[in-house]
Structure 1
Amino acid sequence: MPIEEVSALVVGAGQAGIAASEHLRGYGIDHVVLERDRIAERWRSGRWDSLVANGPAWHDRFPNLEFASARDGFPGKEEVADYFVAYAEKIAAPIRTGVEVHSVARLTGRPGFRVETSAGTYHAGCVIAATGAFQTPVIPRLIPDTAGLLQIHSAAYRNPAQLPDGAVLVVGSGSSGAQIAEELQEAGRQVYLSVGPHGRPPRSYRGQDFCWWLGVLNKWDAEAVPGVEHTTIAVSGAHGGRTVDLRRFAASGMILLGRTEAFHDGKLTLAPDLARNLAKGDADFLAVLDEADAYVARNGIDLPEEPQARVMLPDPACVREPIRELDLAAAGITTVIWATGYSSDYSWLKLEVLDAEGRPKHQRGVAVEPGLYFLGLPWQTRRGSSFIWGVWHDARYVADHIAKQRAYQAYRPAELRLASTTP
């Protein structure tokens, strides 16, 4: 099979890869996008059945195509996947599905990379790793398999009916953990939710969605600072969009726990940090309201006041008298769902571009290896990078960098051009 030559090769046809393709095409750069599954596959098979987007349709989209659903609504996961398929068709993205990339290595004696795939070999002038950071589900090695529990990651959760009868422990209080816990509770399950440090923004305030507030308050363009990029955020578009309120969960029968620390002889040890973690979420919530009120007053905007937004439910018994040790069998827990995030897997990059923890070494997506780029990373350039619209803007920056580098590489001073044409 002959080697295919291409100026740019994009790995992954999710939102990052499709955005990259649009901007590369805009610069007239020939390229190919390789995807091992279907377009936007993670939205279809890597999410639970009832998942909807965490941002409204008017906001979480690419600039040149709107969702078919109501602009203020929250599209379901299948609609999001269909949106990316339609967008890829709209821009005529050169996507090849069912092609897995095995390795990317530097070519010797010439610029570019040798890319080995399940469909043959490519020589690419540059490579964009658009697989994102959420690739391998992380399940802490805490509860042994011999404990007799069903243990799954949130990526494997689909609906309450797939779980055995009994109570469920959800570990992790970010968006996934909070939404799954609420769904299970609404299905009649007894749910225990292990709560770690988290942010808890208002879903809406004074008639505007929090995505709008973060926009006008210039929060989306906030650049990463050490530690901030790892902040867990609890937000949801479920039920038409409403603020995640863990005290409301508890008032309906959910039992909140501190951060999970250890497991021994069938018992879970929990950190004494539940009240502190809830207080941090409250502080983040109120800080947004304070900034929003100040913005309204400063600009004289006519938005209805919402004093009830500041009223907090009282601490439930599980917060006032926190559980420090939980006997899983006595509590009737038969399932543990680990909503504990993902790790990245760039083992196919045969290049020195990762740090000691396996994270990409880059500056705004430009890797330390010339010609290699990363796209789809949280906080890649700003807070908004992990959102659909944010990755589109990051892709424009990456494509612009590629175009500039190509121009430098193609430039020859007049005397060199003359020498090359003189017999």
Structure 2
Amino acid sequence: MPTTDTVIIGAGHAGLAVSHCLTGYGIEHVVLERGQVAQRWRSGRWDSCRLLTPNWLSRLPGWSYQGDDPDGFMSAASFADHLSAYARISRAPVRENTTVIGVRGDGESYLVSTDAGTWRTRCVVIATGYHSRSLVPALAGGFSPTITQIGAAAYRNPTQLPVGGVLVVGASSTGVQIADELARSGREVTLAVGEHTRMPRRYGGRDVLCWLDRLGSLDRTLDEMPDPHRARREPSFQLAAGRALDLGVLRDRGVHLAGRLVRVDGGQRAVFADDLQDTTTRAENRLRRVLGAIDRYAGFTHAADVPSLVIDGGVRQVTGLSSVVWATGFRPDYPWLQVPVLDSAGHLRHRRGITEAPGLFAVGLRFQHRRNATLVDGARHDAAYLAEQIAVRLRHRNTNVAT
């Protein structure tokens, strides 16, 4: 049975960041990946998907974007190649095409079982991220079997769906982009709108994320938040790569806007709540708070330049659907984890990625410590911190760790 100091499960950006930092400490480790490096970016995104963060914000320990388009947005395939190059430069000890099927404690060690054998290790880092599977509500069971249903992770392009009307459920970045693409293809699209944060792509001549980065808003820690539980559930930004996209743009494109999906009648009729105006008003208020903070920081008075978006009413029901796309978020999934560190909802109990089980860590979780923990840029902070904690546990001396 092979042994190592640390096993990292997942060779996405977060797992590779931890690997880079462990190498800086001289800690022996292995990175196990079920497919290729960055597999989820290769197989779990729609064809036209691009990162929501500009290229310059793809910072990782010892690695940054070196191309000639820092303000552009990498496609999913390009970003996968970007991470493959990072793995090579870092000499990350990745074992590709190795699927983890079990992790269990064994005294002071862990046994990590895979389809290629079992590893014994002192430490395990779960780096499978927060987006393991689409979160599909129980309402999905109310639709007729004749209506095609897919989660956002399974959506690829409009030709994948049968001819007919499409309901997209969820209006954060994924939902609005998919609804926009479907409408552009000529489909009749209804968008069920839940909580979200309206956000302009550019403001004051810069990408809005540039301002949030300068403000330190993305680096705010959970300890700084008045209500940590609420902070972890705050609505996601409504953004698209390189262009403005909000409910007003979709409405003008012919997308039918609706409130939350509340029930399905007779397997065919989707019924929506009368809450669209309230939801969009809250999103508008969140936008104004963000723009106000940017104005105070930069000395602007530009907030009035971003027109208010008023959405009245909305459709209350729709029939004639051929398919439903669930863009209702994602959740982590650990079917192979045999250590009692999950709460009743299946989430890891942790503080800053350190679980209750000695030697068991995680990275890439929602608001793990900083607000940007699930973004590419945020992983570098958590990776450095966890590598330090692992070094302490293994009694390794700090050498030269790039962050």
TM-score normalised per structure 1: 0.88
**Inter-CA distance 174–68: structure 2 relative to 1 (3 Å threshold):** same
Corresponding residue number in structure 2 for 1:54: 52
Aligned counterparts of 2:68 and 2:33: Cα–Cα separation in 1: 27
Identify if the C-alpha distance between structure 1 residues 395 and 405 changes in structure 2 by more than 3 Å, giving closer, same or farther. Answer: same
Partner of 1:309: 305
Q: In 2, Cα distance between the equivalents of 1:251 and 1:102?
A: 48
3-state DSSP of counterpart to 1:6: strand
C-alpha distance in 2 between matches for 1:345 and 1:399: 23
Structure 2 counterpart of 1:300:
none
Paired residue secondary structure (2:55): coil
Equivalent of 2:126 in 117, 126, 129: 129
- Matched AA of 2:319: L
Residue number in structure 1 paired with 2:84 = 85
Q: Equivalent residue for 1:374? A: 362
Match of 2:102 in 1: 103
CA contact (8 A) 1:57 1:69 kept: no
Aligned counterpart, 1:73: 72
Distance 1:124 1:28 in 2: 16
- Residues 303-360 of structure 1: CA deviation (Å, up to 9, x unaligned): 7x646633235x4xxx433332x1412xxx2111000122222221211111111110
Contact 2:11 2:38 in 1 (8 A): yes
What letter corresponds to residue 183 of structure 1 in structure 2? E
**Alignment correspondent of 2:371:** 383
Out of 166, 179, 182, the residue aligned to residue 181 of structure 1 is 179
**How many Å apart are 1:288 and its aligned residue?**
1.4
Match status 1:193 vs 2:191 = yes
**Cα distance, 1:46 vs structure 2:** 0.3
Report the structure number with the largest CA radius of gyration.
1
Tell me, which stretches of 5 or more residues in structure 2 are unaligned? 223-227, 398-403
Distance (whole Å) between structure 2 residues aligned to residue 328 and residue 205 of structure 1: 39
What is residue 418 of structure 1 aligned with on the other side? none
Shift of the 322–197 alpha-carbon distance from structure 1 to 2, 3 Å rule, reads same
> What does the per-residue CA deviation read over 1:219-258, in whole Å, with 9 as the maximum and x for residues that have no partner?
11222311221223233343xx123320221122111000
Q: Post-superposition shift, 1:67?
A: 4.7
Equivalent residue for 1:30?
28
Q: What per-residue deviation string (whole Å, max 9, x for no partner) do you get for residues 140-177 of structure 1? A: 23244535211111111111122222221100011100
Go from structure 1 to structure 2 and tell me whether the alpha carbon gap of 1:283 and 1:33 turns closer, same or farther (over 3 Å shift). same
Is 1:171–1:177's contact at 8 Å kept on the other side of the alignment?
yes
Between the aligned partners of 1:82 and 1:206, the Cα distance in structure 2 is 32
Distance 2:396 2:19 in 1: 21
| Aligned-partner SS, 1:142 | helix
> 1:417 maps to what in 2?
none
Give how far 1:102 is off.
1.4
> Which of 273, 281, 284 is residue 283 of structure 2 equivalent to?
281
Could you tell me whether the CA contact under 8 Å between 1:200 and 1:244 is conserved in 2?
no
Q: Choose from 312, 322, 330 the match for 1:320.
A: 312
Distance 1:18 1:105 in 2: 23
Whether the 8 Å contact between 1:235 and 1:243 is mirrored in structure 2 is no
Aligned match of 2:334: 346
Task: Give the AA of the match of 2:198.
Answer: R
- Paired with 1:309 and 1:88, the residues of 2 have a C-alpha distance of 43
Name the CA distance, whole Å, in 2 between partners of 1:259 and 1:69: 42
Report the CA distance shift for 1:105/1:307 in structure 2 as closer, same or farther (over 3 A): closer
Question: SS of 2:180's equivalent?
Answer: helix
2:248 aligned with 1:247 = yes
Displacement after TM superposition at 1:133 (Å): 2.0
1:270 aligns to what? 272
The structural deviation recorded for 1:267 is 1.9
Question: Which of 207, 213, 218 is matched with 1:215 structurally?
Answer: 213
Query: What TM-score do the two structures reach when normalised by structure 2?
Result: 0.92
For residue 58 of structure 1, report the CA deviation from its aligned partner.
0.8
Partners in 2 of 1:145 and 1:191 — Cα distance?
17
Contact preservation (8 Å) 2:8, 2:15: yes
1:88-127, Cα deviation, whole Å (9 max, x unpaired): 000000000111111111113xx21111111111110101
1:68 deviates by 2.8
Whether the aligned pair in 2 keeps the contact of 1:61 and 1:67 (CA below 8 Å) is no
Greater Cα offset, 199-208 or 63-72: 63-72
Partners in 2 of 1:149 and 1:307 — Cα distance? Answer: 43
Deviation at 1:397, TM superposition (A): 0.5
**Which residue number in structure 1 is paired with residue 258 of structure 2?**
257
> Which residue of structure 2 aligns with residue 413 of structure 1?
none
Once the two structures are overlaid, the 10-residue window that deviates more, 286-295 or 394-403, is 286-295
Q: Which residue of 1 aligns with 2:400?
A: none
Segments of structure 1 that go 5 or more residues without pairing to the other structure are 298-302, 410-423
- Percent sequence identity is 38
Return the letter of the residue paired with 2:386.
V
In terms of mean alpha carbon deviation, does 242-251 or 156-165 score higher? Answer: 242-251
The answer to whether 1:118 aligns with 2:108 is: no
Alpha-carbon separation, structure 2, partners of 1:227 and 1:179? 26
1:278 partner amino acid: T
Query: What letter is aligned with 1:280?
Result: R
Report the aligned-residue RMSD: 1.8
Give the superposition deviation at 1:47: 0.3
CA deviation profile, 1:176-211 (whole Å, cap 9, x unmatched):
001101111112222110000111222121012121
Q: 1:166 to 1:28 in 2, by over 3 A?
A: same
| Segment drifting more, 138-147 vs 278-287 | 138-147
Select between 256-265 and 283-292 the one with higher mean Cα deviation: 283-292
